[in-house]
């Protein structure tokens, strides 16, 4: 039994003088298997970091961690400046995903730092 799903991917495009917001809406079908009682997997764009996600994640991490801006404020900025329609839970999930993605890098930096001390 097919089921049509719509999902949006938000992204930022950086150039020398402009930052543009992009929203890509995907529509795809997933199928239900009555034997194993599972759906076919969603497209990989929605379950792993990729090129589309990376710029938005970088912006969110920079704002919340480096500049100490609240997640609510980052969300409001993204919505106002780039026309996104997201809530602060999205920014929270982006930060969680970025933490998992860079976990090994963090460990490597900390081990190098402890050896140097």
pLDDT tens digit sequence for 22-69: 777 888 887 877 888 777 776 665 555 555 567 888 888 889 988 999
What are the residues facing 116 on neighbouring strands? none
Contact 64, 27 (CB under 8 A): no
CA 114 to chain centre: 31
> In the prediction, which pLDDT does 2 show?
72
pLDDT tens digit sequence for 64-112: 988 999 999 999 998 998 888 888 898 998 888 888 888 998 899 999 8
> In the prediction, which pLDDT does 19 show?
80
pTM surpassing 0.75?
no
Beta strands 2-14; 38-39: pairing state: unpaired
> In the prediction, which pLDDT does 69 show?
94
pLDDT tens digit sequence for 7-21: 777 778 777 888 887
| Number of domains present in the structure of the chain | 1
State which residues form the domain around 33: 2-116
> In the prediction, which pLDDT does 70 show?
94
> In the prediction, which pLDDT does 46 show?
58
Question: Nearest to residue 86, comparing CAs of 70, 98, 74?
Answer: 74
> In the prediction, which pLDDT does 76 show?
95
């Amino acid at each position: 039994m097919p089921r049509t799903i719509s999902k949006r991917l938000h992204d930022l495009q950086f150039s020398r003088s402009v930052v543009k917001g992009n929203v890509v809406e995907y529509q795809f079908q997933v199928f239900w298997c009555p034997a194993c009682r599972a759906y076919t997997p969603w497209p990989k764009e929605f379950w792993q970091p990729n090129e589309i996600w990376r710029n938005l994640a970088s912006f969110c991490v920079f704002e919340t961690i480096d500049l100490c801006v609240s997640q609510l404020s980052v969300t409001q900025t993204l919505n106002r400046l780039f026309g996104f329609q997201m809530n602060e839970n999205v920014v929270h999930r982006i930060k969680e995903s970025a933490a998992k993605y860079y976990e090994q890098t963090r460990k490597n930096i900390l081990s190098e730092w402890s050896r140097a001390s």
